[in-house]
Amino acid sequence: MSDDVLSRLRAATSPAHERLERRIGIFDAIVEPHGRAQLARRFFDFHASAEAALAPRLSALDGLEFERRRRSPHISDDLARIGAPTSQAAVAPPPSPASTAEALGFLYVLEGSSLGGRVIRRQAERRGLSLEGLGFLDPYGPAAGEMWRRFLAVLSAHCVDAAAAADAARGAVGGFAHAEATLCSAELVA
């Protein structure tokens, strides 16, 4: 079932995912220290607000390890290392998931960004860009693949029918909308 749910999530979010990647201009943002700090603050705002919205539905979910998946502490540490404040913006609250499946759909956006973050870090290294303040892009390190598979197993276990899969897709679409609203400020738009 996870392939079906995953396919549905990818199809539902593909346009939003592509738009977010275009708008965020991540490599332009990380060229210099101020841009990296600004980007990290936006990611902190996004993750902290999303984690707060997801915790009531997901913190005790068997097999998920929600606390381990929280990235806001990693981002806070990165910001402290580069001497930047944790947050500077008031963030509109994310959608509040109405079901576990919807919350898992939203979490799909956050977990997928950890895979994308690994790719971004490798590309930045090849370009000779500094990674200072960007450790949060690869929160799991070598365990990234295993964490993704565990997430998919939990997603699959909770999205066993069409209604739950639809809830998950709704959560993922809401997650991307929140990501775009939070991450794509005037300072970060490419």
Going from N- to C-terminal start, the domains of the chain cover: 2-183
The pLDDT of residue 1 is 42
Closest C-alpha to 71, from 103, 92, 46: 46
- Could you give the CA distance from residue 153 to residue 64 in angstroms, rounded to a whole number? 9
> Does the domain made of 2-183 have the CATH classification 1.25.10.10?
no
Contact call for residues 110 and 52 (beta carbons, < 8 A): no
How would residue 3 be classed by pLDDT, with cut points 50, 70 and 90? low
- pTM tops 0.85, yes or no: yes
